[in-house]
Amino acid sequence: MNADLSVKTSVKDVIPTLFGYIGVGIAYGVVAQTAHLSLLTISLLCLIVYAGSAQFAITTMLVGSSPISAIILSTFLINSRMILMSTSMAQYFKRDSLVKNIQIGTLITDETFALGMNKVAVTKGKLSPVWFNTANVIAYLVWWFACLVGALSGKLVADPKSLGLDFAVVAMFIGLLYLQMIGDRRRKLRVQLEVILIVSSSLFILGRFVNPEIALLSATIIGCLGGMVVEKWA
């Protein structure tokens, strides 16, 4: 990864990330197909919701005949972390128009956020809408295609859990965390490990008292605040 922010460089930068989209997307497609969702429904979930963890949750809730209100609320809570990610990323696009900021925020994901943060470390705090939008759109299309491939091949898999496909999202996030740790040159490894400890401890404790979605959002906020303190005294 270099400091260039052109379309060509964006394509090169996003390619390694696409393997995560392909793996998790195929896994989701298989799970959704075995849950008897139609190809149209799977496509709409990919194109409108566009969030792996939320799509897995929605599929499970649809199978369980959960009320629409519960599905909407759960999806909002699961994806609420995107508010924090978008807020964090917005500082690099203050000089750009509202339309460009909306374009970036609409398609930002955990993967492209991590990619953007790694790019910031290389460019010394600079990002461009062209670079980010290119990465976002490519990731978006690859995710949709991977989910369709998984759905079309889902009939060949009787039990997705037997292949560990239900663990795909967790595995992807572990990989993203590792790449973020080794790619962020602005912070010491000790600081990053301390923040991870704060978040994981908060999530473990909160998970005993509130539902998983609220626990995740709260742990993320606590991690942000704790990270500020840890970095200040590092």
Question: How far apart (Å, rounded) are the C-alpha atoms in residues 147 and 132?
Answer: 23
- Please give the pLDDT value at position 157: 63
pLDDT at 4 > cutoff 70? yes
**In this structure, are 220 and 142 located in the same domain?**
no
Instruction: Tell me, yes or no, whether 63 and 112 share the same domain.
Output: yes
Query: How large is the average pLDDT for residues 202-224?
Result: 82
Asked if 103 and 129 count as a contact pair (C-beta separation under 8 A), the reply is: yes
**Claim to verify: residue 136 and residue 205 sit in the same structural domain:** no
- pLDDT for 108 equals 93
Does 118 share its domain with 219?
A: no
68-77, 127-136, 201-210: which is most confident: 127-136
pLDDT tens digits for 113-144? Answer: 989 988 998 888 899 999 999 999 999 999 99
What average pLDDT does the chain have? 84
Can you give the pLDDT at residue 54? 86
> What is the per-residue pLDDT for 138?
97
Please name the residues in contact with 189: beta carbons below 8 A apart, sequence gap of 6 or more.
181
Does residue 159 lie in a domain region? Answer: yes
* 216-225 pLDDT per residue, tens: 778 878 887 8
Taking residue 166's Cβ as centre, other Cβ atoms within 10 Å add up to: 16
Which range marks the domain in which residue 233 is found? Answer: 189-234
Q: How many domains does the chain have?
A: 2
Decide which of 97 and 153 is more confident. 97
Structure tokens belonging to residue 129: 């809408």
Q: Verify that 115 and 211 share a domain, yes or no.
A: no
pLDDT tens-digit readout, 34-44: 888 999 999 99
Does the pLDDT of residue 66 top 70, yes or no? yes
State whether 213 and 97 are in the same domain: no
Same domain (yes/no): 44, 67: yes
**Phi, psi of 124, deg, nearest 5:** 60, 45
Please state the rounded mean pLDDT for residues 142-165.
78
Assess if residue 2 is contained within a domain: no
Number of helices (H), then strands (E), belonging to the chain: the values are 11, 0
Domain termination residue (choose one: 162, 186, 210): 186
Do 93 and 201 reside in the same domain of the chain? no
Give the separation between CA 209 and CA 107, rounded to whole angstroms: 32
Q: What is the predicted pLDDT for the residue at 167? A: 63
Residue 216 lies in a domain: yes
Q: Is residue 62 part of a domain?
A: yes
